[in-house]
Structure 1
Amino acid sequence: MSAFKAGLAYFATVFAVGFILGAVRVFALEPLLGKLASVLIELPVILAVSWFICGRIIDAFHVPKSISARFFMGLLAFALLMTAELMLARYGFDRTPPEQLREMTTASGAVGLVGQIIYGMIPLMQVHARR
């Protein structure tokens, strides 16, 4: 149960920070630098924030160091993130799910997807990093 609650908290916290960073990226960086450069600037920032937040949440929810608990936490957070991305694309940018999937095949979309996969793996990575 702690991994479930931690996965929810990890998603919600990082999504809130990512929403703010994403707004800065879209409205401030993209007009100046383009999509790919903007994503490449944002990605290490959000991954560092994710690493920090994940560690605090793992400690707060006493998530076991087992691979299964950490995998579940990350998988839940990743699934919620993908769901939120689809909903934001649909209702925020008026993109259909196929259009959103096509966006992920662009260079900036692929870089973002790789970052999202890493985000989902951070709880698992911290099994070894925090021993």
Structure 2
Amino acid sequence: MRGAWTAAACYFAAVFALGFALGTVRVLLLLPVLGEGLAVLLELPIMLAFSWWIAGRIIAWLDVAPAVLPRIIMGGGAFALLMLAELMLATQGFGRSLTEHFAHYLTLPGAVGLAGQGVFGAIPLLRLGRDRG
């Protein structure tokens, strides 16, 4: 199980770094032209495609077992780290209150983003039939 926790941390770190880079492009280039909703909808499939690829590479690299529990640990752990990092970034980096942060999930862009983050967390389990482990 230790490998699954390591995989969770690696998966989170790699996808968070990519998300930070793509999020910067989204905010600086797409958002002013397309609005927040469309910008998020354009970014999401790119993030999920890379998340699928990154998860597969980490599963192979760390030899995460092709079993339900290690994949849930990998995806759930990465999802928990992502939610914590997003909360910290919103409150500490952007000065939002907890109420503002959680209220954002009630907007269309926030709900779409949260759904995408849920899929991100499920990807290691969804890959179960495809990976040797």
What TM-score do the two structures reach when normalised by structure 2? 0.96
Structure 2 counterpart of 1:109, one-letter code: G
SS in structure 2 of the partner of residue 105 of structure 1: coil
State the alpha-carbon separation in 2 of the partners of residues 92 and 22 from structure 1. 14
Residue identity over aligned pairs, in percent, reads 50
CA RMSD between the two structures = 0.8
Which ranges in structure 1 are unaligned for 5 or more consecutive residues? none
What is aligned with 1:119?
A: 120
What is aligned with 2:102?
A: 101
SS in structure 1 of the partner of residue 77 of structure 2: helix
State the alpha-carbon separation in 2 of the partners of residues 66 and 97 from structure 1. 36
Which ranges in structure 2 are unaligned for 5 or more consecutive residues? none
Higher helix share: 1
What is aligned with 2:9?
A: 8
State the alpha-carbon separation in 1 of the partners of residues 110 and 28 from structure 2. 17
Q: How does 1:18-57 map to 2 (within 5 A)?
A: 18-57=19-58
Structure 2 counterpart of 1:97, one-letter code: L
State the alpha-carbon separation in 1 of the partners of residues 131 and 74 from structure 2. 16
What is aligned with 2:90?
A: 89
Deviations 1:64-110 (A, max 9, x none): 00100000110000000000000010122111121110001000000
State the alpha-carbon separation in 2 of the partners of residues 120 and 77 from structure 1. 6
Number of positions where the alignment pairs a residue of Structure 1 with one of Structure 2: 131
State the alpha-carbon separation in 1 of the partners of residues 90 and 40 from structure 2. 16
Runs of 4+ in 1 over 4 A off after TM superposition: none
